[in-house]
Amino acid sequence: MADSWQAALERWISASLVDSGTAERIREFESSREQPKHLRWPILIAIAFGALMLAAGVLLFVSAHWDDLSPAQRFSLVLA
């Protein structure tokens, strides 16, 4: 993503939309606000943990009510 804005900035300079001083100020601003790459992993771990807990909850709910289900409902759950 960082390369896309830099490439766009170079196109703007070559098209004379912005001058080199403005482009340098834009580069300084954008480089100072870039987020570190390692912040993505905790979010992915939290999503995976949430999905695992949801799947476990559905499995526990179905297993708790297994005896109350008709044979057709059991068969459809096994096929799903």
pLDDT beyond 80 at 3: no
Q: Which residues contact 21 (CB under 8 A, 6 or more apart)?
A: none
pLDDT beyond 60 at 1: no
pLDDT beyond 80 at 79: yes
- What secondary structure, in 3-state letters, does 15-64 show? CCCCCHHHHHHHHHHHHHCCCCHHHHHHHHHHHHHHHHHHHHHHHHHHHH
Closest CA to 43 of 55, 51, 32: 51
pLDDT digits (tens, 9 = 90+) for 6-65: 899 999 999 999 999 999 999 889 888 866 666 788 889 999 999 999 999 999 999 999
When computed from its CA atoms, the radius of gyration of the chain, rounded to whole angstroms, is: 27
pTM of the predicted model as reported, rounded to 2 decimal places: 0.48
